Structure 1
């Protein structure tokens, strides 16, 4: 049943889209930059309107034409927030999170769903998150963040994802986050035994018994870095304990008589196996278009379909106004960064001593180094105006958000144009 309609931005190879489809959402539009991922979407869902290009390019699509849509969803690029990267946030040309949030103002959907890496939940991005919540509240939405673990929803993989759901108030009071499944978490061996034995390898069952834990997070990587590979050194060590050679991806499963080379922990995974670990099921019959490196990247960067399905079902129930009503989050304001919140509310520059004093009046206590650390974090994503006082101390005033939200003259346009071949 697909009585609800969604627009999918940064759709990738369709992991989130497939999960939402299972949850009852049809797709009015899917937009994706990568040509191979677009080919995958068109191959599996030929009746969808799938468009290739920069999702922020008005020549590709105009959000206003999809006004009032049930849901706008997307897994916007994660490198601006990933712990393994430089965490450039708002100054990264790949950052589309703030732009996607503004779709609530432009397209006025009933609900908005955005997911990203765990890094976005870090203290470094507290003010960024606060800006997102404030923007959505001003647009008339009730927004919530939550860290979800894929393994809690039947995916044999660690994979924490930071998820944002925003709904109009009349639907938000019916929304609750999905509960983790009560069933035992499936192991890598349980998920892959049939695929390891597909070509007759006699050691498949013995291997599966030893691969008795969930996998580390699959790392899809980007066009800036090499070919198909299961992750950094720590991840490779975790894979080795599961009997998997993480130095690359194989074209096929082991054949009869196969034995690992000297010093190797076991067989390599195929792209099909990686897809299984990401939550694609055999009955999905999902075909990935492109060569091995491209298909691996599509799979590795995906939002696991079972997690998307679980969140999608919660959103669908809220949009249908089913189940018990709950107290709205907006009745108890969430503050991610008190220094940002304070500076946002003052027009004249104030010093660290004044910031500390005003925070104390609200029951919040910070030392001078803590305030200065908050300001340093703020400066990554916001313009900070400094004024030197007669005493020589500095006063601070919060300036504009540096993130791209659709501005014609933003540096993102030039950087995106220069680096487009490397962006995925």
Structure 2
């Protein structure tokens, strides 16, 4: 395995939650960060991470105080993680706080104990949907209470040399003194890498005579690689729509092959090849030079790869965060959070000690109409207690408690995780 410790530069410390097999870890190592600790619930993924990057890994539920103590890692340079995606994924039910795997709000609470110089959390683009506007606003407001300025951005892996679209919604937060130097990484010039170009050497390795023609046929970036979870998904390239998209690139998405096509294999026009584990890793952004090896059976290996954060994207973000911490580059004027992602209805409710009428909320919502505000209120009810109160015959709304898991000892999540631990991922 290559050594990613940068000579001449001081390595910055890193605590990573829900580290998986190490896609984000690898990218951050290349950007100049070194793990103080990684936490991962899946033992096989933890062994992959440990064996490739020699990282200290605590194995278990990241929210279990017996697994690790955040206070032991206070003032770490970077707190990062890829907390579970199913609570927000458009491919699922988008249960948000009602999903036992939702750890985003919990992760923000760890900032109070870790007091890191920077925070980076990533998730699926579903978290950017209007359904979660109030949830996102609560995250920004809580960070502000803790002394951090947070900002969200949707990044596409294909802009950073990864041969798939793979949109990821990323939160970066720092104290204002550092955040004013933070610049989101720009798409790399000439970064577009097609599936054919990325996999040609692997497809041709066993003498497949159609490899050159296949490379020309696979002349586009791929759809998002889908790893699935322990509840759903297996060693194939995703749901029907994803398989159809792979078929257009002359790839059979119905499974993962043990070996690449050889000189006896038919044309891709007759029988499109399936990806091997090594090919799937290449699609996710690992390179041959990384020398990365995945532990476990084929389904586990594919799930580790498919659920990873692409290393090149993590590296680009890591370099931007490192530059901000070093106060490199010009200062940037920014408001707290991305304006289009804020929720004015939630903010009005959160900042008022008195119940607000529909008319009050329409006034707070610049784009507001009665129906638009009602839609916002319906979304807020998913993740917050919202009380309806009648004052002088007028219906008013008062924001109650957040329903999400933030570390409460008596939260229902604990029982679910204890009973179904082998299905939590």
Helix, strand or coil: the match of 1:329? coil
Helix, strand or coil: the match of 1:276? helix
Helix, strand or coil: the match of 1:145? strand
Residue deviations 1:118-157 (CA, integer Å, cap 9, x gap): 0000000000000000000110011110000000000010
Q: 1:318 and 2:320 equivalent?
A: no
Q: Supply the distance in 1 between the matched residues of 2:335 and 2:92 (Cα, whole angstroms).
A: 32
Q: 1:258 and 2:265 equivalent?
A: yes
Q: 1:65 and 2:66 equivalent?
A: no
Helix, strand or coil: the match of 2:420? helix
The change in CA–CA distance for 1:20 and 1:335 in structure 2 (over 3 A counts) is: closer
Q: 1:371 and 2:373 equivalent?
A: yes
Contact 2:195 2:222 in 1 (8 A): yes
**Per-residue deviation at 1:6?**
0.5
Pick which of 91-100 and 343-352 moved more: 343-352
Aligned to 1:408: 409
Contact 2:210 2:267 in 1 (8 A): no
Q: Supply the distance in 1 between the matched residues of 2:367 and 2:103 (Cα, whole angstroms).
A: 34
The change in CA–CA distance for 1:335 and 1:41 in structure 2 (over 3 A counts) is: closer
Q: Supply the distance in 1 between the matched residues of 2:352 and 2:242 (Cα, whole angstroms).
A: 46
**Per-residue deviation at 1:388?**
3.5
Aligned to 1:216: 223
Aligned to 2:253: 246
Q: Supply the distance in 2 between the matched residues of 1:405 and 1:193 (Cα, whole angstroms).
A: 46
**Per-residue deviation at 1:421?**
1.3
Query: What TM-score do you get using the length of structure 1 for normalisation?
Result: 0.95
Contact 1:142 1:169 in 2 (8 A): yes
Q: 1:359 and 2:367 equivalent?
A: no
Q: 1:49 and 2:56 equivalent?
A: yes
Residue deviations 1:196-245 (CA, integer Å, cap 9, x gap): 11222111111111100000000000111242010111111111110000
Q: Supply the distance in 2 between the matched residues of 1:139 and 1:350 (Cα, whole angstroms).
A: 27
Q: Supply the distance in 2 between the matched residues of 1:318 and 1:351 (Cα, whole angstroms).
A: 43
Q: Supply the distance in 2 between the matched residues of 1:251 and 1:339 (Cα, whole angstroms).
A: 53
Aligned to 1:7: 15
The change in CA–CA distance for 1:331 and 1:381 in structure 2 (over 3 A counts) is: closer
Q: 1:304 and 2:305 equivalent?
A: no
Q: Supply the distance in 1 between the matched residues of 2:164 and 2:315 (Cα, whole angstroms).
A: 16
Aligned to 1:381: 383
**Which of 154, 163, 167 is the equivalent residue of 1:147?**
154
Q: Supply the distance in 2 between the matched residues of 1:106 and 1:186 (Cα, whole angstroms).
A: 41
Please list every run of at least 4 consecutive aligned residues from structure 1 whose deviation after the TM superposition is greater than 4 angstroms: 331-335
Q: Supply the distance in 2 between the matched residues of 1:332 and 1:89 (Cα, whole angstroms).
A: 21
The alignment of Structure 1 onto Structure 2 pairs a total of residues equal to: 417
**Per-residue deviation at 1:386?**
1.6
Aligned to 1:88: 95
Aligned to 1:40: 48
**Per-residue deviation at 1:95?**
0.3
Q: Supply the distance in 1 between the matched residues of 2:176 and 2:94 (Cα, whole angstroms).
A: 33
**Per-residue deviation at 1:335?**
6.5
**Per-residue deviation at 1:101?**
1.1
Q: Supply the distance in 2 between the matched residues of 1:42 and 1:365 (Cα, whole angstroms).
A: 50
Q: Supply the distance in 2 between the matched residues of 1:265 and 1:8 (Cα, whole angstroms).
A: 42
Q: 1:16 and 2:58 equivalent?
A: no
Aligned to 1:419: 420
Q: Supply the distance in 2 between the matched residues of 1:350 and 1:27 (Cα, whole angstroms).
A: 47
Residue deviations 1:287-344 (CA, integer Å, cap 9, x gap): 1000000000000000000000000000011111112222243499776111101111
The change in CA–CA distance for 1:264 and 1:300 in structure 2 (over 3 A counts) is: farther
Q: 1:346 and 2:352 equivalent?
A: yes
Unaligned segments of structure 2, at least 5 residues: 1-5
The change in CA–CA distance for 1:354 and 1:326 in structure 2 (over 3 A counts) is: closer
Contact 2:77 2:118 in 1 (8 A): yes
Contact 2:227 2:233 in 1 (8 A): no
Helix, strand or coil: the match of 1:72? strand
The change in CA–CA distance for 1:335 and 1:114 in structure 2 (over 3 A counts) is: closer
Aligned to 1:160: 167
Query: What TM-score do you get using the length of structure 2 for normalisation?
Result: 0.95
**Per-residue deviation at 1:348?**
2.3
**Per-residue deviation at 1:102?**
1.4
**Which of 116, 122, 125 is the equivalent residue of 2:123?**
116
| Cα RMSD (Å) | 1.7
Helix, strand or coil: the match of 2:115? coil
Residue deviations 1:332-372 (CA, integer Å, cap 9, x gap): 9776111101111112222212322x427xxx141111111
Aligned to 2:179: 172
